[in-house]
Structure 1
Amino acid sequence: MEAAAAPAAAAKKSSTVCVTGAGGFVASWLVKLLLSTGRYAVRGTVRDPGDGKNAHLLALEGAGERLQLVKADMLDYSSVASAVAGCEGVFHVASPVPYGQSSNPEADVIAPAVTGTLNVLKACKEAEVKRVVVVSSVSAVFNNPNWPKGKAFTEDSWSDEEYCRKNEEWYFLSKTLAEHEAFAYAAKTGLDIVTICPSLVIGPLMQRTVNTSVKVFLSYIKGDQETVQNGFKNLVDVRDVTDALLLAYENPQASGRYLCNSPPIRVSDIVNILIKSSFPTYTYPKNFVEFEGGYTYDTEKLRKLGWTYRPMEETLRDSIECYRRLGILN
């Protein structure tokens, strides 16, 4: 009598990965994506696992069996080490994104980004994590006065640290310092680190908290300014960012940094898309002053990994429908 074959699902054990700052905008969508593949058990770090603002994570399909929320502070090494222990991969997403000027940027913005990143990387090295994917930003790319004018930015460009300090661009500086430290640590220890540098991340929210990048986007459609410069904006859908993170983690050939951006779009085109998408009643800017400045990014390196981006019309429509459903927009 032949023995019955074990079910395929039981035969393959889920790989455990950690997502830092799991309750945030990008991280929430990443947790959803990881769970949806069926290949991963996810350990998400949050400040308070019992906080009701994390309920959207616990409600995800597969969360009951494969999601664990753990308390961790990125500035507390022992809590980070405990969260990372036993994980095959780590996605370091947690980082402060200030809205407005900070009175103490070194403590509020730079230290959490740099020290937090180094704590994660040291814990990953100790835990023998196979690969770490770090979320950086184009803020670590474009603030570079030496980059040739008119040339699309590539992964070779780094924001100038002194230039950031001089102009008090503390967020730009924090992302630049943290990413530099990440690659210096990789060179020193051999830890496999890949970074993703997205532009302004927009898209549907999974939680009710409106994050900084969505606030910036909403300023275009809530009548904050009657007259705006009609320059090009660099936006990327949060779901496309999480696709990039998973590609960077799973593709053995992935290395270094990757720019993550949809094609630039003018503010007037954003408004026209929204008006045509059955959202004609918002207080949009009335006057557009033509402005030819702006940045372009070469995303060929990421697209070679198989990355694609959804049409901006889809992103904008899904975003507004979500914000209305959550009561963020009337």
Structure 2
Amino acid sequence: GNPKKVDHLLNLDGAKERLQLFKEDLLEEGSFDSVVEGCDGVFHTASPVRFVVNDPQVELIDPALKGTLNVLKSCAKSPSVKRVISTSSVSAIAFNTRPKNPEVVVDDTWFSDPDFCRESKLWYTLSKTLAEAAAWKFANENRIDMVVINPTMVVGSLLQPEVNESVETILKLINVTLLVMPN
């Protein structure tokens, strides 16, 4: 692996005693089988966050959709996994025509409209929408206890030395180099 990508993790308190790193491929089915074996819970947080892409299918949709399903397929094979917690995005549920008022309950059937996302070129939104819909379908069919979190942005202290897309967007707003939030 690339030491620059993991050194910050290896330097955390207790990492030498409790941290195990695995090099896996989200796009390769079965890649996570040995990683989740023996785990009670699995957190799936990996998905590309990019608002400008050249090839949406390759850069966003395939990694989000296939990656999510590959992690869930590995979890379904492991009898030790009791719950999966997946990080999606508010964008996966925000772009639809359903009424938005206090009486409406958002549940696992509430998704952004994929056709609208394609027409509007909201590729990140489409990737998260398709991935979450497929995740719920797979989890329900395979009796996986899954929780999905749909944050607007994930911000806070960074473990890695690089600024991520969410923090970069906020910095642009603060520095007035971005006047409108991207979809």
TM-score by length of 2: 0.89
Counterpart of 1:137 in structure 2 is 89
From 135, 150, 153, give the equivalent of 1:197: 150
Counterpart of 1:185 in structure 2 is 138
Counterpart of 2:31 in structure 1 is 79
Question: Are the aligned partners of 2:51 and 2:123 in contact in 1 as well (CA < 8 Å)?
Answer: no
Counterpart of 1:116 in structure 2 is 67
From 166, 179, 182, give the equivalent of 1:213: 166
Counterpart of 1:293 in structure 2 is none
Counterpart of 2:3 in structure 1 is 51
Mapped to 2, the partners of 1:69 and 1:111 lie a distance apart of 24
Structure 1 residue 98 corresponds to structure 2 residue 42: no
Q: How many percent of aligned residue pairs carry the same amino acid?
A: 46
Question: Are the aligned partners of 2:44 and 2:68 in contact in 1 as well (CA < 8 Å)?
Answer: yes
Question: 1:78 Cα shift?
Answer: 3.1
Q: Which runs of 5+ in 1 are unaligned?
A: 1-47, 234-330
Mapped to 1, the partners of 2:150 and 2:55 lie a distance apart of 25
Change (3 A) 1:194 1:170: same
Question: Are the aligned partners of 2:30 and 2:73 in contact in 1 as well (CA < 8 Å)?
Answer: no
Counterpart of 1:243 in structure 2 is none
Mapped to 2, the partners of 1:172 and 1:192 lie a distance apart of 24
Mapped to 2, the partners of 1:93 and 1:154 lie a distance apart of 25
Give the strand-richer structure, 1 or 2: 1
Higher relative contact order (CA 8 A, sep 6+): 2
- Provide, for residues 162-220 of structure 1, a one-character-per-residue CA deviation record: whole Å limited to 9, x for no partner: 11111111110111111111111111111111101101222221221111111100001
Question: 1:160 Cα shift?
Answer: 0.8
Mapped to 2, the partners of 1:95 and 1:77 lie a distance apart of 16
Mapped to 2, the partners of 1:196 and 1:67 lie a distance apart of 24
Counterpart of 2:128 in structure 1 is 175
What letter matches 2:73 in structure 1? Answer: K
Partner-residue secondary structure (3-state), 1:78: coil
4+ residue runs over 4 A deviation:
none
Structure 1 residue 162 corresponds to structure 2 residue 162: no
Q: Which runs of 5+ in 2 are unaligned?
A: none
Number of aligned residue pairs: give it. Answer: 177
Question: 1:154 Cα shift?
Answer: 5.0
Counterpart of 2:99 in structure 1 is 148
Question: 1:148 Cα shift?
Answer: 2.5
- Provide, for residues 233-292 of structure 1, a one-character-per-residue CA deviation record: whole Å limited to 9, x for no partner: 8xxxxxxxxxxxxxxxxxxxxxxxxxxxxxxxxxxxxxxxxxxxxxxxxxxxxxxxxxxx
Question: 1:223 Cα shift?
Answer: 3.6
Superposition RMSD in Å: 1.8
Question: Are the aligned partners of 2:69 and 2:135 in contact in 1 as well (CA < 8 Å)?
Answer: yes
From 126, 130, 140, give the equivalent of 2:77: 126
What letter matches 2:83 in structure 1? Answer: R
Question: 1:125 Cα shift?
Answer: 0.7
Partner-residue secondary structure (3-state), 1:68: coil
Mapped to 2, the partners of 1:220 and 1:96 lie a distance apart of 21
Mapped to 2, the partners of 1:123 and 1:206 lie a distance apart of 27
Counterpart of 1:89 in structure 2 is 41
Question: 1:86 Cα shift?
Answer: 2.1
Mapped to 2, the partners of 1:92 and 1:191 lie a distance apart of 13
Pairwise mapping of residues 222-301 of structure 1 onto structure 2 (< 5 A)? 222-225=175-178, 228=179
